[in-house]
Chain A
Amino acid sequence: MHRELRSHIINLLNADTRLDGRKLTEYRKPIELEHSVIKTAEGSARVKIGETDVIVGVKLDVGEPYPDTPDEGTIIVGAELLPLSNPEFELGPPGIQAIELARVVDRGIRESKALDFKKLCIAKGEKIWMVIIDICPINDAGNLFDAASIAALAALKNTRYPGFNGEKVDYKNKTDKKLQLEKLPIAVTVIKIGDKFIVDPDTEEEKVVDARLTVSSMEDGTLCAMQKGGDYPLTVEDISKMIDIGIEKAKELRGYL
């Protein structure tokens, strides 16, 4: 599959360029981030990287804590690969691609401790806030991982608590109290094709990926989550190089938040 496309892309990479003329570790332009685009959500953001276009919305609800963490709230991340956004996506319950996307975004937020789950506790052992983050692509032109990760973080950043009277959530009257973000973990997905590394693949490049590594890192360069994908293995040297690229590019993306 895609043998011709692959050799064409590799030839370009060897000449230090890509199908659209970008450098290997250059994101598409423009990158646009819009805050609070959805009035019906408690928090939301829309991110465009080139033609890739993703909306993330946050809803808050009150639930019961898990028995092993009675004083902690929780997050739930959902992703729907909407057939509106890509001719290859189909209707139906989330497939493995959507689940992986949601879990990678989830891990970036959860493991970086971007949210202090203890602050989401309302009454120990009884009531906690559940932060539900939903990822909806409008146009998938490649690299949903990075677009969704940054959109999720931006949406959390402008999330405001709805009213709560101890019994019911009052969605009509949002309070002024904002969800507090402790850290800003940024996900950068580094792609290996042949022996070259690139970031921000477009639709064509995604078809010929050998391996990918999504690296989530914080302001100080600490890694907080990773996910290897693709059919081919990576050497330790590969991983080292990919992490360096991931941390470097995260600095650039953080500037958009």
Chain B
Amino acid sequence: MTYKTRIDGRGFDEARPIEAKVGVIPRADGSAMFRIGNTWAYAAVYGPRNLHPKFLQDPQKGILRCNYNMMPFSSSGERVRPGGSRRSKEISLVTEKALLPVLNLDEYPNSVVDVFIELPQTEAGSRCAGICAASMALADAGLEMKDLVSAVSVGRVADKLLVDLDYSEESYPDVKVADIPIAMMPNTGKITLLQMDGEVKKEELMKLIDMGKKVLMEIYEVQKKALKEKYHEVEV
């Protein structure tokens, strides 16, 4: 099978349809939903709140704790066993690192900000969707932030460079595939998450990051719009 055009008819620089909403979990201090194609993420923020056990506390600043979890029925294959896997633990870690640079937790010593990310349905790009939802949820919780964080995957299938790979592309048979999730602070262009599986040349990677940036700015606009829908601007 040769790979010439995208299976769902998108342009190579085009993301799947995106939908975002803020304040979807009333019990949380902040929450958001982010959908990209068939990948669907919820994020809830609780805190800043007391941190137990005490030895985890930092007397200088609050800490951020993220947890990424796929619901048991969220994979198109077999049921996902509940409870963390090595994969979900690693994603939780890189998510935390992707979000931390935009937060200022100096005012919350000995406290924790908990971010819970749940995926009801996935079809590739779930860590990026989780990060997009989480950064909106943090903003919804009213935390001091330098920027939002927007995330998307870029990559390569055969000799094509493309953004927002779906499952059929990620697992395209018999050709070289690279999958590169990136997260960025849109206002500074700084990268807060970068991972890669597969094979790619440095020049290609640089080009991919450029392609990614364009889509990330679109995602950023969707995130901002969702936040503005909840928090109307008030004229004084």
Residues of chain A at the chain B interface (Cβ within 8 Å): 37-41, 44, 51, 53, 55, 57-59, 61, 78, 80, 82-87, 91, 93-94, 132, 134, 136, 138-141, 169, 171-172, 203
Contact = CB atoms under 8 A, between A and B. Distances in A.
Given A59-B78, A84-B42, A41 B118 contact: no
A171 B122 CA distance: 14
A85 B25 contact: yes
Interface stretch (B3-11, B68-76, B104-112, B172-180): B68-76
Interface of B: 24-28, 38, 42-44, 46, 49, 67, 69, 71-79, 82-83, 114, 116-118, 120-123
13 contacts: A38-B73, A38-B74, A38-B121, A39-B123, A41-B74, A51-B26, A55-B120, A58-B73, A78-B82, A83-B116, A84-B28, A84-B117, A138-B42
Contact of B27 (A41, A80, A91, A139): A139
Contacts, number: 98
B79 A61 contact: yes
Given A87-B49, A203-B27, 9 more contacts: A40-B38, A51-B26, A57-B74, A59-B72, A82-B69, A83-B114, A84-B116, A94-B82, A139-B26
Among A94, A139, A141, which residue has the most Cβ atoms of chain B within 10 A?
A139
B123 A85 contact: no
Nearest to B67: A91
A86 B44 CA distance: 9
Contact of A134 (B71, B114, B118): B71
A247 B122 CA distance: 39
B72 A78 contact: yes
B67 A40 contact: no
Nearest to B26: A51
Contact of A139 (B25, B46, B67, B120): B25
A134 B121 CA distance: 13
Given A83-B116, A84-B116, A140-B27, A40 B75 contact: yes
Contacts of A59: 72-73, 78-79
B74 to A, nearest CB: 6
A134 B72 contact: yes
B73 A44 contact: yes
A140 to B, nearest CB: 7
Contacts of A61: 78-79
A40 B73 contact: yes
Contacts of A51: 26-27
A40 B76 contact: yes
A171 B77 contact: yes
Nearest to B116: A84
